[in-house]
C-alpha cells in the first residue's frame, strides 16, 4: 500500500472512530465484523464487546441492559422473530429508530454482492423534534377548527360531519337512532339582565350538565348561539324521550352561580327519529319543527316529532 493510500485509510479510521454517525459491517451470516463507538452506543455497549457477535445477540444485550434502542416489547424473542422477517429482504433499506434516551436515528442497511451488510445510523433528533412540534401544532389547529371555543364541545361543522357518518353506520346496521335539538328558553333575557359573561357561564354550565347525562359515544355539539344538538345512536323513540326529559329536568333543577346571582334556566327540546340514509339537514328540520312546538306551547318541554 503506498503512502498516500495508507494516510487516507488512517484518516478514514479517525473519522469513523470520532463520528457521531454509527457505522457497522455485518458478515453474510449476520455477525458483526467491525463498527465504531457511535454504532455500539445504539445498542448500549462498546466495539470490543460486540465484534463477532450475531445481530440477534447484540439486540438481546440492548434489551437486557435497557440501553440504546427502544424495544417496545416484553418478549425479545418475538420481537427478534418479527425483525428477522424484514432484515436482509432488500438490498437497500431505510428506517427510523428511537433510543431510550430520547434520540432518533435514521438507519440505512445496504447489502453488498458478497453478502456483507453495511449499516449506517445518522442522528435526526433535531429534525424529529421539529416534526413532532409541527404535528402537535397541526393537531391543535385541527382541534380548534372542530371545537366550539366557549363550551369545548363539537362546533356545528364537526357535529354535522359526525352525525352524517353515524347515520350511515346505523343505517347499515339497521339500528334505531334519534336526534335532539335543544334551545335555552329566554336566553336573551339572561344576557340583558346579567350581561354576556353571565350568558357564557350559562352555556358552559349547561354543556357540562348535559355531557354528564350522555354516553361517551353520543354526539353532542353546539349548533350556534344557545342551540345544541345531540345524536343518539342505537336509541329508540321512547329512550330518546327519557334522555331528553332527564336533561330538561336536570337543567330546570340546577341553579347557575354567577357572581352574586343564582340563575335559573329551562330548555325546550325537539326530537326527530331519522329514517335510514337521511341527511343531517332533513332530521334537523324535523327536530326544529318539534322544538318550535315546544317553544310555542309554553317552553320547558320535550316534543317528539312524527316518526318516518
Which residues are known catalytic residues? 226
Please give the span between the terminal C-alpha atoms of the chain, in angstroms, as a whole number: 92
Instruction: Write b or e for each residue in 20-34: b if 16 or more Cβ atoms lie within 10 A of its Cβ, otherwise e.
Output: eebbbebeeebbbee
**Cα dihedral: 297, 300, 301, 302 (round 10):** 140
Q: Which three cell numbers stand for residue 203?
A: 352555556
DSSP for residue 305: P
**Distance (Å, whole) CA 118 – CA 305:** 72
Cβ(211)–Cβ(269) below 8 Å? no
HSE-CB for 171 with a 13 A CA cutoff: 12
Coil, strand or helix: which one is 221?
A: strand
Cα-to-chain-centroid distance, residue 250: 32
DSSP for residue 153: S
DSSP for residue 31: B
Instruction: Classify burial at 68, counting beta carbons within 10 Å of its beta carbon; exposed 0-12, middle 13-18, buried 19 or more.
Output: buried
Cell numbers 347499515 correspond to 172
CA distances from 47 to 52, 138, 197 (A): 10, 42, 67
**Distance (Å, whole) CA 158 – CA 130:** 28
Cβ(123)–Cβ(21) below 8 Å? yes
Amino acid at each position: 500500500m503506498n503512502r498516500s493510500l495508507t494516510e487516507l485509510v488512517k484518516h478514514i479510521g479517525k473519522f469513523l472512530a470520532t463520528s457521531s454517525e454509527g457505522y457497522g459491517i455485518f458478515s453474510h451470516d449476520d455477525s458483526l465484523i467491525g463498527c465504531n463507538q457511535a454504532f455500539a452506543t445504539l445498542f448500549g455497549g462498546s466495539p470490543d464487546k460486540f465484534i463477532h457477535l450475531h445481530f440477534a445477540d447484540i439486540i438481546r444485550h440492548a434489551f437486557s441492559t435497557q440501553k440504546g434502542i427502544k424495544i417496545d416489547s416484553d418478549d425479545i424473542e418475538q420481537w427478534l422473530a418479527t425483525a428477522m422477517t424484514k432484515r436482509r429482504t432488500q438490498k437497500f433499506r431505510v428506517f427510523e429508530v428511537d433510543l431510550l434516551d430520547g434520540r432518533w436515528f435514521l438507519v440505512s442497511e445496504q447489502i453488498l454482492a458478497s453478502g456483507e451488510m453495511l449499516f449506517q445510523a445518522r442522528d435526526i433528533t433535531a429534525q424529529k423534534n421539529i416534526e413532532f412540534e409541527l404535528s402537535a401544532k397541526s393537531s391543535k389547529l385541527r382541534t380548534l377548527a372542530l371545537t366550539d371555543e366557549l363550551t369545548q364541545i363539537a362546533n356545528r361543522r364537526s357535529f354535522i360531519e359526525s352525525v352524517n357518518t353515524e347515520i350511515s353506520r346505523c343505517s347499515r346496521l339497521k339500528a334505531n337512532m334519534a336526534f335532539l335539538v335543544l334551545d335555552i328558553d329566554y336566553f336573551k333575557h339572561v344576557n340583558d339582565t346579567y350581561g354576556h359573561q353571565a350568558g357564557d357561564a350559562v352555556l358552559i354550565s349547561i354543556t357540562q350538565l348535559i355531557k354528564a347525562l350522555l354516553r361517551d359515544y353520543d354526539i353532542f355539539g353546539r349548533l350556534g348561539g344557545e342551540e345544541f344538538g345531540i345524536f343518539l345512536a342505537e336509541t329508540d323513540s321512547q329512550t330518546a324521550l327519557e334522555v331528553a326529559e332527564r336533561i330538561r329536568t336536570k337543567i330546570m333543577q340546577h341553579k347557575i352561580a354567577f357572581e352574586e346571582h343564582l340563575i335559573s334556566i329551562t330548555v325546550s327540546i325537539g326530537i326527530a327519529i331519522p329514517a335510514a340514509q337521511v341527511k343531517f339537514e332533513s332530521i334537523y328540520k324535523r327536530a326544529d319543527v318539534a322544538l318550535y312546538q315546544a317553544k310555542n306551547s309554553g317552553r320547558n318541554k320535550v316534543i317528539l316529532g312524527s316518526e318516518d
